Amino acid sequence: MNKVRKNKLAIFVFLLPAVLLFAGIIIIPIFCSGYYSLLDWDGITEGIFVGLENYKTLFTSKTSGFSKSVVHMLMLAVGAVFIQLPFALFLALGLAKGMKGERFFVTVFFIPVLLSTVVIGQLWIKIYNPDYGVVNSVLRMLGLDSWCHTWLGEKSTVMWAVFIPIIWQYVGYHMLLMYAGIKSINSELREAAYIDGATYVQTCFYILIPLLKPVLRVCLIFGVTGAFKSFDMIYVLTNGGPAHASEVPSTLMFTNIFMKNKYGAGSAIAIFIIVICFATAILIKKVFKVEGEEKTA
């Protein structure tokens, strides 16, 4: 058997495609990005090595829109942590209690997660349409004409307008993860708490939520890094406009590379996104330690 397991040809054949793809499309390109970020390069002429100049410009320049984009990115993350996740937990705890229509609600709440962001984005563009959109129509119906806005076109409202669909779309995802987590907790624990006279709310806080910690941590990592990476929805809704008012790092990266041909500056933003995603994931893992983790890590 060992001889069969050490078959060199099989090992080579089985690993070759995966290793080639991984190296060629993921590992090497990331190092390339790191190198490009040190160049002043428009993609046509030869790049000039400028060291950390691109990073310096990003963080100090007032016109690049980068500082604004970072603020927006952090706002999205805060929204994910303090609105999206608590609401998802609220839904999951209630549904997992075992109530009428439980499966139906879980199934329906999960639908937005599956739909293409382009579809959802296009629908929200119509919902926000200043003349015929649902939002303004409802406001007019209520006689609140003065509250109507060009939601995606005004600097003061655009960030809220992109915020809502982004938060909305993934509530169902976190809810499902938490719901599955609660369902996998031994139901005897819940029954024991019930016999001891605990209400369901108490059971949630003293038993279910503490036991759900590993799942909550996954949700936290996904929520925060997802916010850091978010691109699709903002690209579809506003592409970062008007005047950087809804810019996030990924849309800024995209514009820099493919609209302005600033390959160096764009790559610096790409590296920034990778570093901050990794750092945050590690930080969250460190801060919220889960017992018995050394084995699985």
Partner 1 sequence: MKKYIGRAGRYLYYLILLIWTVVSIFPLYWMILFSFKDNSEIFGKSALSLPESWDITNYVEALTKGQMGRYFLNSILVTGVTIFLTVAIALMASYAVSRLLWKGRTVLNNIFMLGLTLPIHAALLPVFLILRSMRMLNTFSSLFIPYTAFALAMAIMICNSFMMNIPEELEESACMDGCGTFGIFFRIIVPLMKPAISTIAIFTFLQAWNELMFATVFVSDSAHRTLTVGMQSLVGTYSTNWGPIGAALVIATIPTVIVYLFMSKKVQDSLVAGAIKG
Within 102-131, the residues that bind partner 1 by CB under 8 A are 105-120, 122-124, 126-127, 131
Number of residues that bind partner 1 (CB under 8 A): 93
CA 100 remoteness from chain centre: 32
Residue with Cβ nearer partner 1 (141 or 156): 141
User: Residues 240 to 269: which contact partner 1 by CB under 8 A?
Assistant: 250, 253-254, 257-258, 263, 266-267
User: Residues 181 to 240: which contact partner 1 by CB under 8 A?
Assistant: 181, 199, 214-215, 218, 222, 225, 228-229, 231-232, 235-236
Please, are residues 172 and 113 in contact by the beta-carbon 8 Å criterion? yes
Residue with Cβ nearer partner 1 (93 or 158): 93
Q: Go through the chain and tell me how many residues it has.
A: 297
Binding mask 136-155 for partner 1 (x = CB under 8 A): -x------------------
* Near partner 1 by CB under 8 A: residue from 98, 278, 283, 288: 278
* Near partner 1 by CB under 8 A: residue from 52, 78, 180, 259: 180
> Quick one: which segment of 60-68, 75-83, 148-156, 166-174 binds partner 1 (CB under 8 A)?
166-174
Q: Check binding of 274 to partner 1 (CB under 8 A).
A: yes
* Near partner 1 by CB under 8 A: residue from 52, 134, 192, 290: 134
Please, are residues 233 and 166 in contact by the beta-carbon 8 Å criterion? yes
Residue with Cβ nearer partner 1 (245 or 254): 254
Q: Check binding of 92 to partner 1 (CB under 8 A).
A: no
Q: Check binding of 59 to partner 1 (CB under 8 A).
A: no
User: Residues 1 to 20: which contact partner 1 by CB under 8 A?
Assistant: 1-2, 4-11, 13-15, 17-19
The amino acid that residue 138 corresponds to is V
Nearest distance in Å: CB 165, partner 1: 9
> Quick one: which segment of 56-64, 66-74, 145-153, 174-182 binds partner 1 (CB under 8 A)?
174-182
HEC sequence for the chain: CHHHHCCHHHHHHHHHHHHHHHHHHHHHHHHHHHHHCCEECCCCCCCEECCCHHHHHHHHCCCCCHHHHHHHHHHHHHHHHHHHHHHHHHHHHHHHCCCCCHHHHHHHHCHHHHCCHHHHHHHHHHHCCCCCCHHHHHHHHCCCHHHCCCCCCCHHHHHHHHHHHHHHHHHHHHHHHHHHHHHCCCHHHHHHHHHCCCCHHHHHHHHHHHHCHHHHHHHHHHHHHHHHHCCHHHHHHCCCCCCCCCCCHHHHHHHHHHCCCCHHHHHHHHHHHHHHHHHHHHHHHHHCCCCCHHHHC
By C-alpha distance, which of 84, 76, 70, 144 is closest to 112? 84
User: Residues 30 to 49: which contact partner 1 by CB under 8 A?
Assistant: 30, 32-33, 36, 43
> Quick one: which segment of 57-65, 73-81, 100-108, 286-294 binds partner 1 (CB under 8 A)?
100-108
Nearest distance in Å: CB 132, partner 1: 5
Nearest distance in Å: CB 188, partner 1: 22
By C-alpha distance, which of 157, 146, 151, 161 is closest to 129? 151
